[in-house]
Amino acid sequence: MKLTERRKKMLAFIAEFVEENNYPPSIRDIGAACDISSTSVVKYNLTKLEQYKLIRREKEVSRGLSLDWARLQEEGLADGLAGAPSTHQDGNGSAFSFFQVPVLGYIAAGEPIQVETTDHSNADEWLELNETLYRNPDQLYALRVQGDSMIDASVLDGDIVILRHQERAENGEMVAAWIDTQNETTLKHFFLEGDQVRLRPANPSYPEMFLPAAEVSVKGKVVSVIRQLE
Amino acid sequence: MKLTERRKKMLAFIAEFVEENNYPPSIRDIGAACDISSTSVVKYNLTKLEQYKLIRREKEVSRGLSLDWARLQEEGLADGLAGAPSTHQDGNGSAFSFFQVPVLGYIAAGEPIQVETTDHSNADEWLELNETLYRNPDQLYALRVQGDSMIDASVLDGDIVILRHQERAENGEMVAAWIDTQNETTLKHFFLEGDQVRLRPANPSYPEMFLPAAEVSVKGKVVSVIRQLE
DNA sequence: CTTGACAACGCACAGATGTTCTTGTATAAT
DNA sequence: ATTATACAAGAACATCTGTGCGTTGTCAAG
């Protein structure tokens, strides 16, 4: 969208003002900041900006205006503005640059343990991550690794693995696999071989598991490993 | 903090109104919502709330008020309120639950490379992390690992290591060590043995380094390892 | 040149909004 | 009983603030 210098300046000022004061500027505030002597000129341009749907305005309400960050970002106008959310924001224009991932519990890297990965309600802990690192954060969840069966893949006991929820996996990927007959989820390398699934630990002292494909369902793929050393 | 029902209701309404409209309510808005017929009563209670530092108010500015989420959370009053930030916020009430750590560049896990860990200005990249995981975030920085000399410590080529800046290290800790004579920083296990420092890689195919303690300075200790698999 | 759309200006006005003053009630302390 | 304090109400006031309208300047199209 093409915007006059003046209107850009107005947007910038509004953003800055809200960032600074937590409430929107009045028409005269804007005028003073943008070297517009007449209130009506401010109103005129505000109306334009509202027509472009870059701002919202409540008639006859003092300071009744707000920026529409979603639109501003669509139009690539959010960059220079103060307090611009990096990617997301809630309905109010408040900036949220992080998201939360539920830590659902422990996952076996030795013996399988029971984990229900689809139920986020009983998450006892939440990890906050940044979306510059991850896409589709709503599909993510985290598990604490228990056991050392993935040690050769450099996943240690106590590490946190972040998984993307998905039902299918490529051969060789590290996945959380639900084993039907045992009511358990385990962390293994995944290989589909005909109608058999091979779940391979990354530690020679643990055995591989061969199971009918029907008895194994992939609960998610490991997309990240985080280790805290202190 | 003990608060009358009326004032709680006012806080709740202000939060809800801001959540809804993106601009604060007027005194009369509040009065209507909280069944207060007189504007002065609203003002009276607002003044009280301001004295408790639960809200901020700009004199003689219409709708010039905002909630102080930090205080509200301190007092345990943020719970029922609309749009409450999950954990932290900056001075303006915007929610920020993360902080940024500079990614200063690459660190050798094979051959040492030059890194100046104290200069944050030339960071080419920033990682955003959450402080529930880390303390003293201002002392943190990150490096991308290059090489596989720490592979036995489960630190792989391409991993990001997060370090806490410190000059001293305990024996056995994984540190970024600056080698004076070579103008280089490297990632190794640290051992002080008399007046000699032993820098041990975690890969048998790389040699240990023995250096006079005077020639080695610790630039930071690894506190976390992050690996992205996709 | 004229015309019309657009941008900009200044001013006056009305409605929106915070402030102040006076009054009244209830409760607790003196 | 008296006083002090917190809470509440209503009305009058001052000012903040958005709106409307007439005017001017620019610029491209007719």
pLDDT in tens, B169-218: 889 889 888 887 777 778 889 999 988 999 998 888 888 889 998 888 88
Query: Distance from residue A55 (CA) to nucleotide D30 (C1'), in Å?
Result: 36
Residue where a domain terminates, one of B74, B106, B127: B74
A137: domain CATH number is 2.10.109.10
Cα–Cα dist A25/B155, whole Å: 52
- What torsion do the CA atoms of A192, A193, A199, A202 make, to the nearest 10 degrees? -100
Let me know whether A20 and A77 are in one domain: yes
B26: domain CATH number is 1.10.10.10
Do the domain assignments include residue B39?
Answer: yes
Let me know whether B111 and B206 are in one domain: yes
pLDDT in tens, A63-81: 888 888 878 877 777 777 7
Let me know whether B106 and B211 are in one domain: yes
Let me know whether B56 and B156 are in one domain: no
Residues sharing a CB contact under 8 Å with residue B183, sequence separation 6 or more, in sequence order: B114
Residue where a domain terminates, one of A52, A74, A96: A96
Of all residues in chain A, the one with the smallest CA distance to B161 is: A227
Let me know whether B150 and B207 are in one domain: yes
Q: What beta strand segments (E) does B29-136 contain?
A: 55-57, 65-67, 98-108, 125-130
Do the domain assignments include residue B64?
Answer: yes
Let me know whether A22 and A122 are in one domain: no
Q: Per the CB < 8 Å rule, is B23 touching A223?
A: no
Do the domain assignments include residue B85?
Answer: no
Domain that holds residue A72: 5-96
Q: Per the CB < 8 Å rule, is B128 touching A127?
A: no
Residue where a domain terminates, one of A46, A71, A96: A96
The percent of residues above 90 in pLDDT, for chain B, comes to 5
Query: Distance from residue A41 (CA) to nucleotide C1 (C1'), in Å?
Result: 30
Do the domain assignments include residue B86?
Answer: no
Let me know whether A35 and A133 are in one domain: no
Do the domain assignments include residue B84?
Answer: no
Least Cα distance to A105 among A185, A177, A172 occurs for A185
How many domains is chain B built from?
Answer: 2
Q: Is the pLDDT of residue A171 over 60?
A: yes
Q: How many CA atoms lie within 13 A of B140 on its CB side?
A: 23
Let me know whether A71 and A129 are in one domain: no
Let me know whether A87 and A114 are in one domain: no
Do the domain assignments include residue B162?
Answer: yes
Let me know whether A62 and A169 are in one domain: no
Let me know whether B151 and B187 are in one domain: yes
Let me know whether B31 and B143 are in one domain: no
A136 Cβ under 8 Å from any chain B Cβ: no
A189 Cβ under 8 Å from any chain B Cβ: no
pLDDT in tens, A10-51: 888 888 888 888 889 988 889 888 888 888 899 988 888 888
Do the domain assignments include residue B91?
Answer: no
